[in-house]
Structures are given as structure tokens and as C-alpha cells.
Amino acid sequence: MRKTGRMRPATAKGSSEAGRARALRPAALPLVRDLDAAPAALPGVEAGPIRGSGGAADGRRSRQRNATRTRLARAALEVFRQRGYDGATTAEMARVADVAAGTFYLHFRDKRDAYEAIARDTSRELLTRWRADLSSDRELRGSIERALRLAVDIWRSDLDRARLLVEGGPALGGAAHFVLVDEVARSLAELRHSAVPAAGDRGRALLLVATGIEMGRVLARRPAAEDELEALIGATLAAF
């Protein structure tokens, strides 16, 4: 008869190595629904329309899809905050959002796509607040100064997000950058009661966007850098 093998008890060395491995493993992040102290300005990116036969069922599916996408975007921001861009994984984003790992890819291509969604949401927040504050009787310089100070407020509202977007992740550029510049240029044209931005509006928009990003960098490094922020605002206003 062949002798059957028996399970050997773990050696002290094996146990200590397993303990070290557990200690090095990052702590699990809480689910999105448990983030009671999460900042209010978390991204909620709207999904595209769902094609179908219409009616209440399609409306319900669309709301569910949007809710899942919003949860994933919030989870992505939380994972980026805790792990940094390089250490973040789509699997952990899905886990924090409390959805299956494959569900992430129904809403975002990869973690870069989720990161860019956070950047778009931050830009949208600034534009929405600025447009709501625009007044036809306010001079151009006053509107520009208001936009810059709103940018400071938004960066300050979530310094971890500021550090992620201006220093911690890949450089933002390309199509998303030009869309933001175009939207700012259109807002400047509206101040002149024009539906079409002029060449000067686009130049001013480029300067505004560049200054807004630079103020984010300043705040990410020195949250109390009032002197440097005021110098940036003054230099930008001098160009108008």
C-alpha cells in the first residue's frame, strides 16, 4: 500500500512570511456608500442615452446606468486619493463602488478614462458656477477676476483632487483641453452679447485655463500661498 501524504503544519518561518505579506498589503478602502465624510464635490458623470423602445423601462435603465456610473466615478476618485494614480486599479474601483469588476468597463475604458472624467467634472463645476455668476453689467475684468477666484475656491475645496489632477496623474491635454478652452471662449463671447467667440476670446480663454491650472499647482504645493495666488491673478488681469 502507498502511504498517503499528510498535511504538514506551517513552520514558524512560513507563518512569519505570511504575516509580513499581510502587513504589506494595502488596507481595503470602504465602499462608496460607506464614505460618510466624502467631499460633496465628487464627480457624477452622466452616461450617454440608451437606445430602445422608449417608455418607463428605458427611463429606469438610464437612471440605473447613470447611478452606477456616478458611483464608479466617486469610487475612482477615492481610490486615486488613497493609492495615487500609478497604484490605483480598476478592480479596486469596482470593489469600492460595490459592483462587479467587469461593470467598470461598461462605463469607462480604463483608469485613464476615469481620471479624465474627474478632470472634466472639475472643469464643468467651475464653468457652471461662473456662468451662474455672470452679470451683463459687470465689466470684463471683473468677470475674469471672478472666474479666477472661483477656480481657487474649487481647488481648495478638495486639495487631494487638486494634487491628483495637476501633479499626481498623467498630463491633461488634447481634445479635453481644447473643449474646455472653447467653452470658456463661448462664455467670454456671451459677455459681449455675441453667440460666436472672436479670436480675442479664444486667446483670453487659453490664458484663463493656463492660469487656473497653475493656481491648482500652487495650492497643491502650498495651500496657504496667498501672495503667489494674488500675483497670478494680478498678472492675468493685466493682460485684459
For CA atoms 165, 167, 173, 178, the dihedral sign is positive
Q: What's the CA gap between 95 and 101, in Å, rounded?
A: 7
User: In Å, how far from its chain's centre is CA 235?
Assistant: 28
Q: Residue 132 corresponds to which cell in the numbers above?
A: 451662474
pLDDT in tens, the chain (240 residues): 444 444 444 444 444 544 444 444 566 776 765 544 444 444 444 444 434 445 677 788 888 999 999 999 999 999 999 999 999 999 999 999 999 999 999 999 999 999 999 998 898 898 898 888 776 566 888 889 999 999 999 999 999 999 999 988 887 666 778 888 999 999 889 888 888 998 889 999 999 999 999 999 999 999 999 999 999 999 999 988
Sequence-distant (6+) residues with CB within 8 A of 154 are 41, 122, 125, 126, 129
Helices (H) and strands (E) in the chain, counts: 9, 0
Q: What's the CA gap between 213 and 165, in Å, rounded?
A: 9
Give CATH for domain 29-108.
1.10.10.60
pTM of the model: 0.72
Q: What's the CA gap between 99 and 117, in Å, rounded?
A: 19
Question: How many residues appear in the chain?
Answer: 240
Q: Which residue has the cell 500675483?
A: 231
